[in-house]
């Protein structure tokens, strides 16, 4: 029995804010055994699993991946201005 025929697709994972997603489409869904790789832009700290795999039950292995600013001031949505 080929498990890939019974496997449930996973919901697509988005690229992290201030980071990059590779090796998966990120469109609608991903299929069994698809691996998504994540990394952060320079100046941002990776938190979570940098590699996640779509499992047979339609869930992703590992933990959610985010890129955190090393200095929270730089990762905020509002820029600060020097007077």
Residues 50-67, mean pLDDT to the nearest whole number: 96
Specify the pLDDT at position 74: 42
| pLDDT for the residue numbered 23 | 94
> What are the backbone dihedrals phi and psi of residue 50, each rounded to the nearest 5 degrees, phi first?
-80, -10
Q: Which of 24, 26, 34, 32 is nearest to 4 (CA)?
A: 32
Do the beta carbons of residue 65 and residue 15 sit within 8 Å? no
Q: Please give the distance of CA 31 from its chain centroid, rounded to a whole number.
A: 15
Residue 18 has pLDDT above 50, yes or no: yes
Kindly state the average pLDDT of the residues 47-65. Answer: 96
Q: Of residues 70 and 52, which shows the higher confidence score?
A: 52
What is the rounded distance in angstroms from the CA atom of residue 50 to the CA atom of residue 27?
A: 19
């Amino acid at each position: 029995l080929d498990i890939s025929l019974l496997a449930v697709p996973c919901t697509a994972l988005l690229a992290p804010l201030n980071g990059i997603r590779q090796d998966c489409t990120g469109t609608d869904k991903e299929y069994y055994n698809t691996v998504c790789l994540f990394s952060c832009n320079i100046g941002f700290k990776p938190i979570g699993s940098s590699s996640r795999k779509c499992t047979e039950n339609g869930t992703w292995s590992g933990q959610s991946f985010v890129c955190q600013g090393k200095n929270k001031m730089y990762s905020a949505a509002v820029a600060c201005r020097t007077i």
